[in-house]
Structure 1
Amino acid sequence: MGQTIIEKIISKHAGKPVAKNEIAIVSVDGVMASDTTAPLAIKAFKEMGGKKVWDSDKAFLVIDHASPAPNERIANLHSIMRDFASEQGIKLYDVGEGICHQLMVENGHVKPGQLFLGADSHTCTYGALGAFATGVGSTDLAGTMMTGKTWLKVPPTIKIIFEGRFPQGTSAKDLILHVVGMVGIEGATYKAVEFTGPALEDLSLSSRMTIANMTIEMGGKAGFVDTTGLELPYSFEDIKPDADAVYEKVITVDVSALQPTIAVPHSPDNVAPIQEVVGTPIHQAFIGSCTNGRLEDLHVAAEILKGKKIHEQVRFIIGPASQEVFNEALSDGTVEILSKAGVKFIPSGCGPCVGTHQGIPGKGENVISATNRNFQGRMGNRDSQIYLGSPATVALSALHGKITDPSTLHKEEILI
């Protein structure tokens, strides 16, 4: 019986062939924890008797979720991370350097074919590179920091084939919102999702990261984007499934029929074509997070807002995915365009997305966001309404003060 891509990667790291539902002990190529999980992992590491991480070059800590520290308690947690990183000789990314998942990819800490663990649910983002990457709890991560190994149950795989071409005004974010709505919030629980098909071949790494990132919004254990057409600054093996690989389910999606898509309150799978909510007034707009805060996302917003001003009753916040992304946007004039339009930039981090600070909405306010979750209270206020959309939808809605359909724009106004 043939193997899926995920089974091949896990087999390599287990040192023997494995199939779905088997328990495997695997070596890992790297681990990461953020300020929401690292302090607990460090505590567990020490309670387990840990003295030294198994490989100081393969462990990473990132301060991004509450960054800069909004209060004394969190500042003290950050100090725990800094002290541990210094003691162990491991890499720590400090305040404002970037969001953990962007940094792991941007700095080459994770690569195709690898097996990577992160103490954050959106670690599945690295599937955009062709890696098996999954989120784990702090205690599990502590054990792996000591041993360089973990155990897992080999997940069955759902294969999703994307055919056709993206219509005007649509993007990878619209596509993954559509898929999450189709599969459901628990439809891929403890399953891997393999995204493939000709519609993906021309997508950038950034767009592939958006797709892989929201695998967890379907309950997925890991996501894997077919690496056909992927351009990286180094050579890599293009892993393919065997012709007789067995899938739990195969779904085909005609991307040509895709419309700009919105997730309406209060769940990422509560999706609708944007036409159903066009005209909904908004008070705050946000582009950022590990889903959509990369340079191409800022470029889309800048093209929409160049020479214009956002609506006077809208607060538009952008948190670049990393300091490097911000610097590139600064160098090419993107920051100037957006700033003149009324956008406010915050340090790279997760604050508004998780509701820690730097963008908590008020009671009764509507938010249009390019993030990944819109559960009630997700952005810090249970009495606000969060709508999820693409960067184009967010920027255009901020311009008009209401949810607006980017597919209605003429090509000379915006190119997506």
Structure 2
Amino acid sequence: MGMTMTQKILADHAGLSEVKAGQLINAKVDMVLANDITGPVSIKEFDKAGFDKVFDKSRVSLVMDHFAPNKDIKSAEQCKTCRMFAKRFDIDNFYDAGDMGIEHALLPEKGLVASGEAIIGADSHTCTYGALGAFSTGVGSTDLCAGMASGMAWFKVPSALKFELKGQLPPFVSGKDVILHIIGEIGVDGALYKSMEFTGEGVKSLSMDDRLTICNMAIEAGAKNGIFPVDDITREYMKGRVDRPYKEYAADPDAKYEKTYTIDLSTLRPTVAFPHLPENTKTIDEAKGVKIDQVVIGSCTNGRISDMRAAAEILKGRRKADGIRVIVIPATQSIYKQCMHEGLIDIFIDAGCVVSTPTCGPCLGGYMGILADGEKCISTTNRNFIGRMGAVTSEVYLASPQVAAASAITGEITNPEEI
């Protein structure tokens, strides 16, 4: 029986000729990743287990992105733990304040993940790298500890859902709208422990940033991973970034999928997820008019240069609404510099926005934009659970950079087509 793209990668990394859904395997991993929240837990378990070396210092990444620059003593101690571990084992890929970016934007940018590789990270949005045709998934900190020491991880091979994409995205619709539409259709557990495999002629119309956004939020449908086929757009992205051989996998023609969904990209509308689940979606036509207090443009979902450009295009020459706080967070230092060179930061500041150093910050209610009692925020982040960004009575609405920027101008959820 044929295998899906994900199953082929896992079989190869497990040294098996084939694997089947539900099978337990032990597989090699090409990269293990932790951040300043999950890293200290993994390091504590690493030391507790008596490990005295990492499996490969070039295949461990520690990114200080959630509470860095440190917001308090506890976060400073967490980063210190990771810093000392990195120094002890001479970790090649340790990124601290000044060098770091939001981890799931930074690793692809640095060429640390590539097509055909298997990546585990102690962060649920590690599934982002499926955009490059890799198998990547989030794991617990103890599993990551074992991965750092052995370069291995165990998996239950996931079954798969196929998403057949056709057509092209209309103006003001992006990868964020695609994945919100899908989650709205199948629900937050619609892909529970399954592989979301995207295919079809519509794939070629999606930029790499669109694909990264879509795979980033696969976990919001409960998926084990999301993955795109490798094509010229993938190869062009990796060119000049990935300095090692990589392998391209493709699903077999007779691969088995639990269900196939057909998505006509040309019919999609800007989409907003209402509180308090990403599945609670409405088109912009249904969503517009909700009054907001804050706008956040950034995160591992939508903090890339294309997101910055899309927001700036709408904000240029305009001013945010009175009483609205607008926080813009480029996802990496490189993106921050690019924003400077292209004049985007001038546009943001002239519009009355706060421009932050790269950080996860407000996405997880960390800092740089905590919500007070009853406040509402439209955000380009990936989760809108109760209390996600602050007070349990606050509300988070998920949307694309275009919708967020348009809403910043009016002070309410707004169709960017009408700005």
TM-score range, shorter chain: over 0.9
- Residue in 2 that maps onto 1:43: 44
- Say if 1:300 and 1:392, in contact at 8 Å, map to a contact too: yes
1:325-404 superposed matches below 5 A: 325-404=335-414
Deviations 1:338-367 (A, max 9, x none): 111111111101111000111001211110
One-letter amino acid of the counterpart of residue 9, structure 2: I
Between the aligned partners of 1:364 and 1:288, the Cα distance in structure 2 is 22
Deviations 1:357-386 (A, max 9, x none): 110012111100000000010012211111
Between the aligned partners of 1:140 and 1:303, the Cα distance in structure 2 is 43
Count of residues in correspondence between the two structures? 409
Between the aligned partners of 2:156 and 2:111, the Cα distance in structure 1 is 27
Unaligned runs of 5+ in 1: 410-416
- Say if 1:202 and 1:229, in contact at 8 Å, map to a contact too: no
1:130-209 superposed matches below 5 A: 130-209=133-212
Q: Give the superposition deviation at 1:70.
A: 1.2
- Say if 1:260 and 1:407, in contact at 8 Å, map to a contact too: no
User: Which secondary structure does the structure 1 equivalent of 2:301 belong to?
Assistant: coil
1:232 counterpart = 2:233? no
Q: Give the superposition deviation at 1:238.
A: 3.9
1:15-414 superposed matches below 5 A: 15-16=15-16, 17-90=18-91, 91-96=93-98, 97-230=100-233, 231-234=236-239, 237-409=247-419
One-letter amino acid of the counterpart of residue 94, structure 1: D
User: Which secondary structure does the structure 1 equivalent of 2:311 belong to?
Assistant: helix
- Residue in 1 that maps onto 2:8: 8
Deviations 1:21-43 (A, max 9, x none): 11111011010000110000000
What root-mean-square deviation, in Å, do the aligned CA atoms of Structure 1 and Structure 2 show? 1.2
109-118 or 93-102, which moves further after superposition? 93-102
Between the aligned partners of 1:408 and 1:310, the Cα distance in structure 2 is 15
Between the aligned partners of 1:236 and 1:335, the Cα distance in structure 2 is 36
Between the aligned partners of 2:13 and 2:148, the Cα distance in structure 1 is 16
Deviations 1:92-115 (A, max 9, x none): 111252011111111011100000
- Say if 1:170 and 1:407, in contact at 8 Å, map to a contact too: no
Deviations 1:146-194 (A, max 9, x none): 1111111100010001111212221111111000111111111111110
- Say if 2:26 and 2:153, in contact at 8 Å, map to a contact too: yes
Between the aligned partners of 2:86 and 2:391, the Cα distance in structure 1 is 34
User: Which secondary structure does the structure 2 equivalent of 1:201 belong to?
Assistant: helix
Unaligned runs of 5+ in 2: 240-244
- Say if 2:71 and 2:367, in contact at 8 Å, map to a contact too: yes
One-letter amino acid of the counterpart of residue 185, structure 2: M
Between the aligned partners of 1:391 and 1:70, the Cα distance in structure 2 is 26
Q: Give the superposition deviation at 1:228.
A: 2.7
Between the aligned partners of 1:52 and 1:369, the Cα distance in structure 2 is 41
User: Which secondary structure does the structure 1 equivalent of 2:42 belong to?
Assistant: helix
210-219 or 15-24, which moves further after superposition? 15-24
- Say if 2:128 and 2:217, in contact at 8 Å, map to a contact too: yes
One-letter amino acid of the counterpart of residue 5, structure 1: M
TM-score with structure 2 length normalisation? 0.96
TM-score with structure 1 length normalisation? 0.96
- Say if 1:228 and 1:238, in contact at 8 Å, map to a contact too: no
